[in-house]
Amino acid sequence: MAASSSSSSSIKPIFTTRSKSSNSSKSSLLSFLHNTNPKPISLKFSSHNSNYTTPPSFTIRNSLQTALETSELPVSKFQDDLNLQAVTPKPTILVSEKLGEAGLAILRSFGNVECLYDLSPEALCEKISQCDALIVRSGTKVTRSVFEAANGKLKVVGRAGVGIDNVDLQAATEFGCLVVNAPIANTVAAAEHGIALLASMARNVSQADASIKAGKWLRSKYVGVSLVGKTLAVMGFGKVGSEVARRAKGLGMNVIAHDPYAPADKARAVGVELVSFDQALATADFISLHMPLNPTTSKIFNDETFAKMKKGVRIVNVARGGVIDEEALVRALDSGVVAQAALDVFTEEPPAKDSKLVQHENVTVTPHLGASTKEAQEGVAIEIAEAVVGALRGELSATAINAPMVPSELRSLAGWLCSWYPEGVALSL
Ligand SMILES: NC(=O)c1ccc[n+]([C@@H]2O[C@H](COP(=O)([O-])OP(=O)(O)OC[C@H]3O[C@@H](n4cnc5c(N)ncnc54)[C@H](O)[C@@H]3O)[C@@H](O)[C@H]2O)c1
C-alpha cells in the first residue's frame, strides 16, 4: 500500500490501498491523512459489486480521519476486498441559462461544464443527479423536486444575479445544498435602467416613439413632466436603491427613502432622508421600487396602499413584479391615482400578451432588462463562477444565501460508512 501519483483523465488517485493487512492499511491511511498537505479529498470506495465516489471536501477528510482514529470496530473491516482511493474527480457544473464567456472559462478550468439551456422541469430533474453544481439566472425554477432528484449530489446552486426567489431556499437548506448569488456586478446596470425608465416615462419616450413610427406627429399629446425639484421615494435602500438615489440627486430631485433595515447614516451620507412607508407614499411624486420579493413584500403595493399615494404619482419597478398587485395597479391607473408606471419586471414573465397592464397606454415596459448590459453580464458571469468554484473547493462563501443544515458531503459519507459498518454508524453534527 502506498501513496500513488498515477492519474487518469478524470480521476487522479492520490492514495490507493489494496492491502491484505488490516492494521497496516488503517495506519498507512492515517499517516497519509496526517502527513499530506490538507486539501479537500474525495473517496472512491469499491466493495463487492458496488462503487461509490464521494464529493471532494474537507468534511470527508476530517470525518474519515476521525472515523479511523476513534473507531472501536474490528479492524477486519479495513481488509481483504477493500479498495480505497483518495481521488479528486472533476466536479460537473450544469449551466442552465446563458452565462458570459469569461465566467464559463473560470468554470471550465475547474470542472466539467455542461451548458444546457431551456431544460424542461422534468429534464432538469433527470440531469441534476449527475451534477455537483447548478448555475441559473432568473428563468430556471430550482424547486424542491430538483433537490429531491439530486439525491445528495448537488452541493451548490449559483444564481447569476441577485434575486433568489426562483430557488427554494428552504429545500436547499434541508438538502444540504449551498446557494450563492452574484449581488454586486449588476447593481449599477439595474440602477441605470431604473433611471432610464424614470426619465423616459416622465417624457413619454416609448409612447412618442411608437406613435411617430405609426406615422403620427403628436407634439401636444406627449407633453411630459419634469424631474427637477420633484420628490422621489426610493423603496428599499439597498445596493440598487442607493445607486438610484445618488443618480436622482444628480438630476436635482428631492430623494427620500423607505427601508426598515437601512441605517440612517448610510442614507444621510447620500443626502437622503429615511421615512416611514406611509410617509413615503403620501409625499412622493415618483416612487421607485428596490426591495426584494419575499412574503412581507409580496403585493405590498395594492388597492389599500395605492389609495395612500399622492394623486398622479408615477411608479418605476425594476425590483420584482410580485411586489405589485398588478390588477390593483391597472385600477389605480384607470382612476388616475397612478398617472404612469414603468415596469421592467412582472409577476409572470413573460406576461400574457393581452395583459391589461402591459397594454395600458400609460405604462412603459421592458422585458426584465435591468441587468442587461454587456458589462454587467460579464461581471455577473465572473462573480458567480468564482463563487461556485470557491464553494466547490469548500471555501467560505461571501455571497452565501443559506447555511445548509446537513452538508451534502456528510449525507454521502453516511452512505459509504454504512457500507463499511453494516452494524450502523452514528454521525453527530
Ligand atoms: N430588473 C433586474 O434585472 C434587477 C437587477 C438587479 C436587482 N433586481 C432586484 O432589485 C431589488 C433590489 O436589489 P438589491 O441588489 O438592491 O438588493 P439589496 O438586498 O441590496 O437591497 C434590498 C433592500 O430592500 C430592503 N427591504 C427589505 N424589505 C423591505 C421592505 N418591506 N420595504 C422596503 N425595503 C425593504 C432591504 O433592507 C435592503 O436594503 C431586488 O428585488 C432584486 O431582485 C432586479
Q: How far is CA 59 from CA 16, 144, 278, 401, in A?
A: 20, 25, 50, 20
**Grid cell at residue 227:** 424631474
Ligand 1 centre and the CA of 169: distance in Å?
A: 17
Q: What is the number of residues in the chain?
A: 429
Edge to edge, the sheet with strand 50-53 lists 15-17, 83-87, 42-47, 50-53
Q: What is the DSSP string of 291-322?
A: PPPSTTTTT-BSHHHHTTSPTTEEEEE-S-GG
pTM (whole model) above 0.85? no
Domains 92-185+376-392 and 187-199+225-368 share a fold: yes
Stated as kind and residue range, the H or E segment containing 191 is helix 187-202
Domain boundaries in the chain? 13-88+407-428, 92-185+376-392, 187-199+225-368
- Would you write out the chain's pLDDT as a tens digit for each of its 429 residues? 333 333 333 333 444 444 444 455 566 666 766 765 566 666 655 444 445 555 566 666 666 676 666 654 444 444 333 344 445 579 999 999 999 999 999 999 999 999 999 999 999 999 999 999 999 999 999 999 999 999 999 999 999 998 899 999 999 999 999 999 999 999 999 999 999 999 999 999 999 999 999 999 999 999 999 999 999 999 999 999 999 999 999 999 999 999 999 999 999 999 999 999 999 999 999 999 999 999 999 999 999 999 999 999 999 999 999 999 999 999 999 999 999 999 999 999 999 999 999 999 999 999 999 999 999 999 999 999 999 999 999 888 889 999 875 455 555 555 555 455 444 433 332
How high is the pLDDT of residue 401?
93
Give every CB contact of residue 152 below 8 A, 6+ residues apart in sequence.
175, 176, 408, 411, 412, 415
Q: Could you confirm whether 349 is annotated as catalytic?
A: yes
Q: Could you confirm whether 34 is annotated as catalytic?
A: no
**Grid cell at residue 93:** 457544473
Ligand 1 centre and the CA of 84: distance in Å?
A: 49
Does any ligand 1 atom lie closer than 6 A to the CB of residue 261? Answer: yes
**Which CATH topology does 92-185+376-392 take?**
Rossmann fold (3.40.50)
Does any ligand 1 atom lie closer than 6 A to the CB of residue 260? Answer: yes
> Residues 55-80, buried b or exposed e (16+ Cβ, 10 A)?
bbbbbbbebbeebeeebeeeeebbbe
Per annotation, catalytic residue among 159, 193, 314, 368? 368
Ligand 1 centre and the CA of 319: distance in Å?
A: 6
Q: Could you confirm whether 320 is annotated as catalytic?
A: yes
Does any ligand 1 atom lie closer than 6 A to the CB of residue 163? Answer: yes
Per annotation, catalytic residue among 320, 326, 360, 383? 320
How high is the pLDDT of residue 404?
74
Does any ligand 1 atom lie closer than 6 A to the CB of residue 195? Answer: no
How high is the pLDDT of residue 326?
98
Q: Name the superfamily (CATH) of residues 187-199+225-368.
A: NAD(P)-binding Rossmann-like Domain (3.40.50.720)
Nearest-CA residue for atom 31 of ligand 1: 297
Ligand 1 centre and the CA of 11: distance in Å?
A: 43
Does any ligand 1 atom lie closer than 6 A to the CB of residue 235? Answer: yes
| Ligand 1 atom closest to Cα of residue 371 | 3
Does any ligand 1 atom lie closer than 6 A to the CB of residue 345? Answer: yes
Does any ligand 1 atom lie closer than 6 A to the CB of residue 290? Answer: yes
Does any ligand 1 atom lie closer than 6 A to the CB of residue 367? Answer: no
Q: From CA 42, how far away is CA 14, in angstroms rounded?
A: 10
How high is the pLDDT of residue 403?
81
Ligand 1 centre and the CA of 56: distance in Å?
A: 35
Ligand 1 centre and the CA of 291: distance in Å?
A: 3
How high is the pLDDT of residue 397?
87
Q: Cβ(144)–Cβ(171) under 8 Å?
A: yes
